[in-house]
Amino acid sequence: MNAILALEDGKIFRGTSFGASGEVYGEVVFNTSMAGYQEIITDPSYKGQIVVMTYPLMGNYGVNKEDVESRKLFLEGFVVKEYSKIASNWRKDQPLGEYLKNNNIPAIEGIDTRALTLHIREKGAMKAVLSTLDLDADSLVKKAKLSKGLVGVDLVKEVTCNKKYVFNAGSSVNKFKVVVLDCGVKYNILRHLARLGCEVIVVPAKTSAEEILKLNPDGLLLSNGPGDPAAVSYVVRTTAALIGKLPIFGICLGHQMIGLALGGKTYKLKFGHHGANHPVKDTKTGKICITSQNHGFCVDIGSLKQKDIQLTHLNLNDSTLEGLRHKKFPLFSVQFHPEASPGPHDSEYLFAEFVKIMQKHKKAVSSR
């Protein structure tokens, strides 16, 4: 079946469908990961986006039931140079193409993804349409232009859980209770907390500060998620109300929420950071971590009051902010993904750091 990817600036890419048939709209972005496509397509942070993989071959090891990062697929479409018709791995449950079809996600192969990536790098991420139904290029370009962008749009409400749940119910080794505000959380974040002896309570993004405090948690984790952080004002208000009342750890969108709650501003990056090979420098130690990243917005360094805030991490590719810590309150955050999945494990120590902060805070409260 033929398929077309049309960009709002008139650029057209023709290929072959290997996912579901249909027509979808989204911001087209590229991901530089060489593997881990299953974790990528199940990351809720890709809601509203059509994902292009820069590595040329995808699907060669299939998909399985263990490596999913959310309850369903939230991305709009998937773009690859070549889809492997043969999937060989002892953990494989089904082929990638079949998985995409079953989850109603259109996908296209056979296009020049290198040319597309270079175009996005030069012109920036832009609106696009992927279709197997309408194969008229002029019609699709018009549709792409008329489609909604991501700026000012709340996508968190599309991916958050409907009700509170306990991730590791029944565990007898829990030492700390952590509330995770679900803005589109990846399961591997929850797994890391559970492995470190935390009872993990996941709550919807619109849960108020009062409701969170009633759960009597030892700490709060603000999760990753999709879209424009400035559009999710209710999470910003909740975060601001909880600063100083309990330890807080923010990841990706959670980092941006903390930046906004501290009075900072966010802005849209030209083509975002999507991949598993982004170098980040720890400003205190000088050490470099290779990190997994997935975001299109960033906290503006110049908008933060550095009298109260320490800038802890910087991106070595473009010098954007990758982490911060409050000088007075037990609060820190990172723009990258310490849970990886996929990606390197260089920064997973941050989960243990969060546990140490909760332990210190708990002792301080009990001694009052």
Q: Which residues contact 179 (CB under 8 A, 6 or more apart)?
A: 201, 202, 203, 212, 215, 217, 219, 220, 221
Q: Which residues contact 353 (CB under 8 A, 6 or more apart)?
A: 332
User: Would you call 252 helix, strand, or coil by DSSP?
Assistant: coil
Distance CA 209, CA 188 (A): 25
Q: CB–CB of 25/147 below 8 Å?
A: yes
Q: Which residues contact 30 (CB under 8 A, 6 or more apart)?
A: 51, 52, 53, 54, 113, 116, 117, 120, 121, 271, 274
Give the chain's count of helices (H) and strands (E): 10, 19
DSSP-assigned states of every residue in 92-115: --B-HHHHHHHTT--EEESS-HHH
Question: Is the previous residue joined to 342 through a cis bond, with omega within 30 degrees of 0?
Answer: yes
Task: Show the DSSP H helices in the chain as ranges.
Answer: 37-41, 96-102, 113-123, 137-146, 156-159, 187-195, 209-214, 233-242, 253-261, 349-366
Distance CA 70, CA 338 (A): 17
Are β-strands 2-7 and 12-17 bridged in parallel, bridged antiparallel, or unpaired? antiparallel
End-to-end CA separation in angstroms for the chain: 69
User: Would you call 301 helix, strand, or coil by DSSP?
Assistant: helix
Tell me which residues are annotated as active site: 252, 337, 339
